Amino acid sequence: MIKHPAHSILPTPVRGALVKFGRDISVARRRRGITTAMMAERLGVARATYERIERGDPRVAMGTYVTTLFVLGRGTAVSELIDPRADETGTLLEADRLPRRVRPKREPQPK
C-alpha cells in the first residue's frame, strides 16, 4: 500500500488517535449490529470510504467523521471537544494576561 503524504505529515500522537478513533467507531457500529454496507448507505458514502473511516484515514472529511458519530447516536460529542468552558489551558493563559490593577478612566477636563 502506498502511503499518502497526509500520513507522513501527521504527528505520531495524532495518527495514533485517529487509528484509535476508527477502531472505536468500528466497535460502536458492531455493538449496534450495523454492517459496514448499512453505515456507508446511512452516511451517503461509498463502502470503501466508510472502511477508511474505521482505519482512521486522515483524508476522510471531518464532516463525514462527525456524521458517523451522529449515525451512531454520539453526534453531540464533537460540540463538547473544545468548549471554552472546559478549556483549562485557555483559562490559565487568559488569567496570566489579566492586569494586576484596574484604574478608573479619567473623565476629560472641561476647557
Per-residue pLDDT of 10-46, as tens digits, reads 999 999 999 999 999 999 999 999 999 999 999 999 9
Per-residue pLDDT of 73-87, as tens digits, reads 998 888 888 888 888
CA distance 23 to 33: 15
Per-residue pLDDT of 97-108, as tens digits, reads 888 888 888 888
Identify the structural domains of the chain with CATH numbers, from first to last: 24-95 (1.10.260)
CA distance 61 to 64: 5
Model pLDDT, residue 6? 61
State yes or no: pLDDT of 49 exceeds 90: yes
